[in-house]
């Protein structure tokens, strides 16, 4: 695989988008591996310097994904009982 | 663009089923961000002295932004219902040009300033901070600034100033009081001059004590400053503005007072000048009254004290009216001339451009002559003031330090050294650093010049060239040859790189620094854009010996990659017609640039746009869009002519003809709507086609909702401290 930026042999792939990059063009970026609730708080396992291609732009804010919510199931009618 | 609106007035079609991935793309797309302006902001729509719009938007008393009238119109549409892409299309409809950069810059600026309902947030930055916390910064609320400009603010004084204004304002701001004040100031000045001629000594002892005389003079000096700052605050309040804080400050270790009248930015220029003038005017009234009193009371105790008060008031307020340092006189002049950053511009002009103009024996314009005179006087006065400061401190400290030094024993000497050190060390550090910087710069200049020739590595040069869309088709080897042929040029801050109207045969890519693009408009240079790393200019010189369409000025030191037109084309000569391809791409850009709708589009944006626009040829009778078909692209007539036909019941009617530069289908950039007319060729020609997805991609490249404010906002932030009214 070749580097997305300079077309030389790539050394790794971006943790965020999958582009391949060589050592010279690689950047780092914090990355959240896992988040879990505990004691009423959210805790996470994180990497400080995950591989980043520098081309893609991880959105720095949470994105509302309300459209992924499961549609509400219709209430059973009395006659169905 | 009402001429084209007939094509787009169909009611929106029922939304088609959208996939989850389309929705994810929509949510992640910056172009779909819906900015919503906070409702609690303050607008001030004013005119400048020359009748130009002067619009301010403020989050009082925290932040103030200056907006253009176009910004104003677009900002008012930010109610959370419109996406950024809607705003760009609205900008296009209102002003007839694609304001990609203008709209995205405005949204970025407003968000970074916290003027939108959703403040910027960066979870990765927060995460980085949590993983690698920086050492805690001790918050010092009781002190602002440091070193030689240290302020001790008293916050929340607005209520106090309001009560003070309510108590005295009704008397002070009456015509009777103001005219009386002017008379007292005038007669007082004449009396003061007469007393000086008669030999009245400003340093005369009081009750036989020289020390008491100095103490009285110092007290008088602070009383004068207090009256001066009170006048600024009261006048600001008189115009209904806030005075959120004020306080005590050490300016070059000299105690003084200050008030924050930044809110005056929301007032018309006349009021701003009045707020600045209020301080010195109150000082002249006080000085005049004191001089008259000193004359009436003779050389007794009261007369001597009043005379000292007059001396302190005249000294302080005359110095304050000097426009060569950043005091009231300067701000009044700047407001009157309406040249923001006058001092900075004048000093930048005398640092470089003046000498190159003189060297090439070019005639200076009126404005340049003014900058030259003002800059030289300001520079000279600034250096002179350092010398005066030395004399001042020597005069003040000498009588105290000498006896202490001569006193037998170690304690006296330690106190003397401590006194000199307390004042001398900070001053020494400040000016020592500056001198050391000059010395180092001079010593390193030859090495820096040699290094500059090789500082832009080949990989960086290639990266810059790869960023140019009109070179997109070039193979790597040609790019490498081109990269090798470029020269590197260093430009100091403030210098002009190219001047509007001059001919040039060089093309430039910005490798480091920031530059402003200025266009002469009614003998005034107006900033029309800013350039950062990767931007380029002068590309017209590659096609012909191009006349520069604007002036490019270095805002910071620049490093440029420079291509001579001849060398550039030489590198592209070869078996494959790369030269004609690049020339074709450049000519295509020139065609686009000639259209009014791209008048506001910068070089780089135009470059990206040129790549996204597809050329679609047509012959007479060819249908470009068909009535009833879904629309997903916007068209601009490249050459030839087309007709717009509307079918009603069974008849078909031509509603208009489109020629080069006309456009249709802009609503398709935003949503799926069926075409309400058919557009077909009348003769042979071509259209440019921009698809919705490409339009959104372009927006995504410009919008930087999380980026730093610096580059974008520099020209829009009024220089807040300038209204600080400090002394």
Q: Looking at residue B257, what is its pLDDT?
A: 82
Q: Looking at residue B290, what is its pLDDT?
A: 93
Confidence of residue B116 (pLDDT cuts 50, 70, 90): very high
Q: Which of B24, B130, B706 sits opposite A60 (nearest CB)?
A: B706
Which tens digits make up the pLDDT trace of B543-556? 765 677 778 888 88
Which tens digits make up the pLDDT trace of B370-384? 888 988 888 887 777
Q: Looking at residue B328, what is its pLDDT?
A: 87
Confidence of residue B36 (pLDDT cuts 50, 70, 90): very high
Q: What is the CA radius of gyration of chain B?
A: 32
C-alpha to C-alpha distance for B676 and B625, rounded to whole angstroms: 9
Size of interface A-B (CB pairs under 8 A): 39
Cα angle vertex B453, ends B452, B454, to 5°? 90
Which tens digits make up the pLDDT trace of B479-530? 888 888 888 888 887 788 888 877 778 888 888 888 888 877 665 677 777 7
Q: Looking at residue B713, what is its pLDDT?
A: 35
Q: Looking at residue B409, what is its pLDDT?
A: 73
Strand (E) positions, B2-105? 42-47, 53-59, 63-67
Q: Provide the shortest C-alpha distance from residue B708 to chain A (in Å).
A: 13
Q: Contacts of residue B127 in chain A, CB cutoff 8 Å?
A: 30, 32, 44, 46
Report ipTM (2 d.p.): 0.71
Q: Looking at residue B468, what is its pLDDT?
A: 79
- Which range is least confidently modeled, B262-271, B542-551, B585-594? B542-551
The CATH superfamily label for domain B2-120+613-713 reads: Jelly Rolls (2.60.120.10)
pLDDT reading at A8 higher than 70: yes
Q: Looking at residue B546, what is its pLDDT?
A: 67
Q: Which residue of A has its CA nearest to B121?
A: A61
The mean pLDDT of chain B is: 79
Which tens digits make up the pLDDT trace of B151-175? 888 888 999 999 999 998 888 889 9
pLDDT reading at B293 higher than 90: yes
Pick the more confident residue, A13 or B665: A13
Confidence of residue B45 (pLDDT cuts 50, 70, 90): very high
Burial (CB < 10 A; 0-12, 13-18, 19+), residue B118, is middle
The mean pLDDT of chain A is: 84
Q: Alpha helices of B99-197 — where are they, by DSSP H?
A: 100-112, 123-131, 158-172, 175-197
Strands B149-155, B63-67: parallel, antiparallel or unpaired by DSSP?
unpaired
Which tens digits make up the pLDDT trace of A23-49? 888 888 888 888 899 888 888 888 888
Strands B673-674, B633-639: parallel, antiparallel or unpaired by DSSP?
unpaired
Q: Contacts of residue B706 in chain A, CB cutoff 8 Å?
A: 60-61
pLDDT reading at B305 higher than 90: no
Which tens digits make up the pLDDT trace of B342-399? 888 888 888 777 887 787 777 888 888 888 898 888 888 777 766 766 776 666 666 6
Q: Looking at residue B704, what is its pLDDT?
A: 53
pLDDT reading at B188 higher than 90: yes
Interface of B with A (CB under 8 A): 20, 23-24, 27-28, 120-125, 127-128, 130-132, 459, 463, 476, 706
Mean pLDDT value of segment B474-480: 77
Question: B132, A48: Cβ pair inside 8 Å?
Answer: yes
Task: Check if the beta carbon of residue B616 is closer than 8 Å to that of residue B111.
Answer: no
Q: Contacts of residue A59 in chain B, CB cutoff 8 Å?
A: 28
Which tens digits make up the pLDDT trace of B418-460? 777 766 776 676 667 667 766 777 777 776 665 555 556 777 7
Top residue of A61, A63, A69 to mutate, by most chain B CBs within 10 Å, is A61
pLDDT reading at B626 higher than 70: yes
Q: Contacts of residue A64 in chain B, CB cutoff 8 Å?
A: 27
Torsion angle of the four alpha carbons B466, B469, B473, B478, in this order, in degrees rounded to the nearest 10: -40
Class at the top of the CATH hierarchy for domain B458-595: mainly beta
Confidence of residue B51 (pLDDT cuts 50, 70, 90): confident
Q: Provide the shortest C-alpha distance from residue A77 to chain B (in Å).
A: 28
Q: Which residue of B has its CA nearest to A56?
A: B701
Pick the more confident residue, B135 or B625: B625
Pick the more confident residue, A70 or A20: A20
- Start-end of CATH 2.60.120.10 domains in chain B: 2-120+613-713, 458-595
Q: Looking at residue A57, what is its pLDDT?
A: 81
Which tens digits make up the pLDDT trace of B658-690? 988 888 887 767 666 778 788 999 999 999 888
Question: B125, A61: Cβ pair inside 8 Å?
Answer: no
Task: Check if the beta carbon of residue B456 is closer than 8 Å to that of residue B315.
Answer: no
Torsion angle of the four alpha carbons B426, B250, B319, B337, in this order, in degrees rounded to the nearest 10: 100
Mean pLDDT value of segment B629-638: 84
B603-612 vs B578-593: helix axis angle to the nearest 10? 110
Cα angle vertex B262, ends B258, B263, to 5°? 125
- Which range is least confidently modeled, A19-33, B80-94, B111-125, B139-153? B139-153
Confidence of residue B710 (pLDDT cuts 50, 70, 90): very low
Task: Check if the beta carbon of residue A64 is closer than 8 Å to that of residue B27.
Answer: yes
Q: Which of B122, B131, B459 sits opposite A46 (nearest CB)?
A: B131
Q: Looking at residue B62, what is its pLDDT?
A: 85
Q: Contacts of residue B20 in chain A, CB cutoff 8 Å?
A: 67-68
- Which range is least confidently modeled, B271-285, B495-509, B707-721? B707-721
């Amino acid at each position: 695989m070749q580097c997305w930026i300079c077309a030389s042999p790539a050394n790794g792939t971006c943790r965020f988008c999958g582009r391949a990059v060589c050592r010279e063009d690689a950047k780092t970026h914090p990355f959240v591996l896992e988040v879990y609730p505990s004691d009423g708080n959210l805790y996470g396992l994180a990497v400080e310097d995950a591989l980043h291609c520098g081309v893609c732009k991880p959105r720095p804010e949470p994105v509302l994904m309300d459209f992924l919510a499961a549609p509400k199931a219709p209430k059973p009618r009395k006659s169905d009982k | 663009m009402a001429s084209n609106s007939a094509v787009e007035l169909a009611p929106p079609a029922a939304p088609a089923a959208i996939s989850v991935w389309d929705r994810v793309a929509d949510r992640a797309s910056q172009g779909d961000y819906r900015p919503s302006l906070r409702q609690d902001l303050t607008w001030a729509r004013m005119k400048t002295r020359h009748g130009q719009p002067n619009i301010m938007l403020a989050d009082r008393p925290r932040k103030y932004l200056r907006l253009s009238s176009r910004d104003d119109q677009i900002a008012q549409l930010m109610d959370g219902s419109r996406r950024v892409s809607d705003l760009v299309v609205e900008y296009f409809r209102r002003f007839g040009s694609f304001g990609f950069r203008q709209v995205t810059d405005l949204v970025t600026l407003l968000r970074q300033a916290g003027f939108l309902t959703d403040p910027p947030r960066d979870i990765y930055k927060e995460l980085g901070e949590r993983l690698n916390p920086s050492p805690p910064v001790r918050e010092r609320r009781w002190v602002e600034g440091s070193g030689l400009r240290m302020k001790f603010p008293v916050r929340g004084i607005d209520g106090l100033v309001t009560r003070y204004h309510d108590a005295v304002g009704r008397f002070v701001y009456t015509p009777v009081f103001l005219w009386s004040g002017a008379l007292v100031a005038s007669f007082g000045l004449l009396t003061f001059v007469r007393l000086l001629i008669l030999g009245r000594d400003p340093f005369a002892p009081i009750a036989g004590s020289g020390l008491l005389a100095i103490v009285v003079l110092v007290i008088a000096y602070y009383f004068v400053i207090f009256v001066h700052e009170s006048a600024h605050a009261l006048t600001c309040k008189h115009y209904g503005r806030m005075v959120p804080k004020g306080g005590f400050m050490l300016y070059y270790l000299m105690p003084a007072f200050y008030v924050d009248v930044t809110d005056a930015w929301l007032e018309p220029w006349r009021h701003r000048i009045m707020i600045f003038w209020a301080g010195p005017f109150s000082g002249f009234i006080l000085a005049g009254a004191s001089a008259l009193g000193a004359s009436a009371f003779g050389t007794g105790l009261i007369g001597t004290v009043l005379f000292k008060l007059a001396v302190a008031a005249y000294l302080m307020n005359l110095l304050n009216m000097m426009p060569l340092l950043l005091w009231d006189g300067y701000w009044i002049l700047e407001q009157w001339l309406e040249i923001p950053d006058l001092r900075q511009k004048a000093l930048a002009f005398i640092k470089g451009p003046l000498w190159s103009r003189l060297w090439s024996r070019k005639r200076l314009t009126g404005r340049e002559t003014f900058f030259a005179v003002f800059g030289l006087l300001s520079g000279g006065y600034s250096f002179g003031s350092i010398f005066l400061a030395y004399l001042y401190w020597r005069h003040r400290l000498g009588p105290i330090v000498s006896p202490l030094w001569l006193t037998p024993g170690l304690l006296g000497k330690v106190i003397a050294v401590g006194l000199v050190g307390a004042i001398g060390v900070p001053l020494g550090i400040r000016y020592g650093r500056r001198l050391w910087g000059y010395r180092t710069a001079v010593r390193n200049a030859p090495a820096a010049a040699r290094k500059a020739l090789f500082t832009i590595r080949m990989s960086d040069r290639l990266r810059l060239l790869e960023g140019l869309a009109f070179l997109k088709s070039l193979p790597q080897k040609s790019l490498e040859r081109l990269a090798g042929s470029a020269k590197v040029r260093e430009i100091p801050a403030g210098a002009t790189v190219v001047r509007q109207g001059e001919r040039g045969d060089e093309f430039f890519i910005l490798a480091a620094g920031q530059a402003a693009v200025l266009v002469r408009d009614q003998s005034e240079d107006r900033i029309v854009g800013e350039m950062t790393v990767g931007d380029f200019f002068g590309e017209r010189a590659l096609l012909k010996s191009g006349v520069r369409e604007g002036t490019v000025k270095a805002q910071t030191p620049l490093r440029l990659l420079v291509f001579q037109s001849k060398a550039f084309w030489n590198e592209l000569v070869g078996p494959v017609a790369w030269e004609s391809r690049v020339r074709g791409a450049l000519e295509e850009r020139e065609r686009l640039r000639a259209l009014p709708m791209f008048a506001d589009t910068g070089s780089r944006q135009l470059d990206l746009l040129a790549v996204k626009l597809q050329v679609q040829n047509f012959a007479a009778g060819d249908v470009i869009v068909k009535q009833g078909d879904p629309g997903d692209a916007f068209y601009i007539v490249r050459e030839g002519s087309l007709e717009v036909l509307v079918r009603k019941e069974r008849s078909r009617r031509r509603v208009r003809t489109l020629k080069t530069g006309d456009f249709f289908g802009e609503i398709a950039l935003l949503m799926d709507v069926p075409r309400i007319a058919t557009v077909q060729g009348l003769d042979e020609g071509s259209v440019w086609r921009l698809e919705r997805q490409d339009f959104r991609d372009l927006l995504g490249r410009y919008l930087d909702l999380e980026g730093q404010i610096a580059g974008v906002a520099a020209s829009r932030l009024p220089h807040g401290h300038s209204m600080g009214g400090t002394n």
